[in-house]
Structure 1
Amino acid sequence: MRRAGAFERWAGKRVAIFAPSYQFLTRTGDIHHARREAALENCRRCGLEPVLLEHLLEQTGRFAGSDQVRAADLMRALTMPEIDLAMPIRGGYGMTRLLPLLDWSVLAEAKTPIVGFSDFTALNLALFAQTGRASWHGPMLGSFANPDRFALERFGVVFGDEPGPLAWRHGRAPKLPDWARTGVHALEGTLWGGNLALVSSLVGSPWLPEVSDGILFLEDVDEAAYRVERMLLTLLDAGILERQRAILLGDFAGANNAWRFPGDATLARVFDYIRSRLPERVLMVSGLPFGHVPHQATLPVGVAAHLTLEAGSAKLTWSSASAVR
């Protein structure tokens, strides 16, 4: 990555770093200190000032400390004075265990913006469901260990940067309905979503927001295509997918690795099948640049957004006034 000059506009931004799930680990289960320190150093090169929470380096079994310790650090990160952003070190598993331990009345009044993805989707969605607060779906500390230029440019939105509309070429699967294949089509809705496994796991719980006429974005990693289908069916059968105006599909790395024989499930077949079960008015658009990939956009969760489709391209915008600050 370039050194500080490229992102000097972030100089002095204080970022609270905490561990709601587990640590960077080596293959033998030891804490990967070198990876953490490399990520922190790259944050500093961007002008950021990491503020490490008290229990950041704890390890209790699989998790970065007990549930109570991790929940306390999360609460502190979101309520510390003079902090510009709260950001976890990584995802993994453990965030859903913390949701019942958080003081949602306090978090409703907190002002610190928060960003994360993967397992952290549970907090993004629960925060919106419980308080109506928006948050950011985007890079965590681990993303800075080997940062991508596009990801850094889009990450600036958390500090008020204006990188412009998020535009991409959408793929051929799932097949768009006839009415959406030509001309210009625009729609608006509440932007929300995240990791598919986490979204589907929250169905029926108080942690999943009830969003109608929304723009739902989804991604996952190392989930076989048939498992992606099963999770999408959970959302479909719960009536969640048909209540949206659009479903934006990000990266699903590894989904086709379990392909074993001709006719076996592939990601394209899964998307086409789900598309066939949805009303034509609900768009499914692939290719959104986000997921467990370096080339990752930062997206707000819980704000009004505008989606435009034209000639194989898509564009997503949201109002700066309504975004998270």
Structure 2
Amino acid sequence: MIKPERLKKGDTVTVIAPASPPSLDSLQKGISYLEEELGLKVKVGDHVYDQYGYLAGEDEARLTDLENAFLDKEVKGIICACGGYGTARLASQINYLIIAQNPKIFWGYSDITFLHTAIFNNTGLVTFHGPMLSSDIGKDDCHPLSRNLFQQLFEPQEMIYTEEYSTLEVLVEGKASGKITGGNLSLITSSIGTPFEIDTKSKILLMEDINEEPRSVDRMLNQLMQAGKLTDAKGIVIGDFHQCHSRRDKSLALEEVINHYIQQAGKPTMKGFQIGHCSPHISIPLGVNAEINTKEKVLMIDSGVE
């Protein structure tokens, strides 16, 4: 495990778009937040404004921005503009030695999940699952807490998630500890069978998603169960499943689907975490030690920076 160096005011960060094209207006507002509120200098990747269908430029362009951001000695952190689609296309082309030799903060979520997993598997670098500039921070209705939690990049601090943040529901009782991994369920599932397959053995697994019907969540959780990913985990954290309701007459409820597989897995599990496509979005580091305790209704996660 490699923790990146913390930020300080005046440091430079780079904004990249490794997935879909960002909304330019909200992207600029997000950049202004980094500069004016956090006191950072911002570089923008050369290809952030490219468009290639549903991608923010062709694969080579997005890959170049990613690797150049890690290679740039002036840059202390990399913030993704938005998610969408396409990061999995880059995974097999990345030179992970560049990342291992130049560890630094890497921040994003949603489609960025595939990069979180690929980077950790190949380098051990701790990365951050948090709201992005165009899709979250630059929106006029962005929750102040979503913005404030960028402070964890400036000072090592343990995240203690209790019901002060949101109401938590215990699905399976118990206490478990291990490194926390995961993110978006769709991207976790799509990693199975690839060289970048998520490793959940003895780990705390985080899952969240958006706009997936219960039948789709069922299919993905069934695949994770049959691949041993749920039973390999020490504990499970259920984040926000935003607008994951059925659009057909006959359906199981999302809660029924999730409960079915969680009960089968039998691992300490809580749901209700405001992590994912929600507001506020509670950002956390991935790859660090964490502990879930259902009796106390608390999730504790180590600091992500040195």
TM-score over 0.5 for the pair: yes
1:20 maps to 2:18: yes
1:161 shift after superposition: 5.0
SS in 2 for 1:258: coil
Match of 1:306 in 2: 291
Q: Of the candidates 236, 240, 247, which is equivalent to residue 251 of structure 1?
A: 240
1:73 aligns to what SS in structure 2? Answer: helix
Corresponding residue SS for 2:152: helix
2:36 partner letter: R
**Secondary structure, counterpart of 1:234 in structure 2:** helix
TM-score when normalising by structure 1: 0.84
Which secondary structure state, in structure 2, belongs to the residue aligned with residue 220 of structure 1?
Answer: strand
Q: Aligned residue for 1:267?
A: 254
For 1:1-325, list aligned pairs within 5 A: 11-24=9-22, 32-46=23-37, 47-142=39-134, 143-146=136-139, 147-162=142-157, 164-168=159-163, 170-172=167-169, 175-176=171-172, 180=173, 185-258=174-247, 260-261=249-250, 264-278=251-265, 280=266, 282-310=267-295, 314-320=297-303, 323-325=304-306
Unaligned runs of 5+ in 1: 1-8, 25-31
Q: CA deviation at 1:291?
A: 0.6
- Cα displacement (A) at 1:257: 4.0
Query: What TM-score do the two structures reach when normalised by structure 2?
Result: 0.89
Task: Flag structure 2 segments of 5+ consecutive residues without an equivalent.
Answer: 1-6
Equivalent pair of 2:80/2:133 in contact (CA under 8 Å)? yes
Q: CA deviation at 1:207?
A: 0.9
Would the aligned equivalents of 2:205 and 2:235 in 1 still touch at CA under 8 Å? Answer: yes
Identity of aligned residues (%): 27
Which residue of structure 2 lines up, in the alignment, with residue 29 of structure 1?
Answer: none
Q: AA paired with 1:296?
A: H
Query: How far apart, in 1, do the equivalents of 2:117 and 2:183 lie?
Result: 8
Describe the superposition over 1:26-76 as per-residue Cα deviations: whole angstroms up to 9, x where unpaired.
Answer: xxxxxx432222222222221232211112211123221110111010001
RMSD: 2.0
Q: For residue 259 of structure 1, report the CA deviation from its aligned partner.
A: 5.1
Which has the greater radius of gyration?
Answer: 1
Deviation of residue 79 (structure 1)? Answer: 2.2
Tell me, yes or no, if the aligned pair for 2:238 and 2:271 is still in contact at 8 Å. Answer: yes
Q: Is the deviation greater in 55-64 or in 68-77?
A: 55-64
C-alpha distance in 2 between matches for 1:256 and 1:130 = 36
Aligned residues: 294
| 1:193 and 1:199 in contact (8 A); partners too | yes
More off after superposition, 78-87 vs 238-247: 78-87
Measured in 2, the distance between the counterparts of 1:94 and 1:50 equals 24
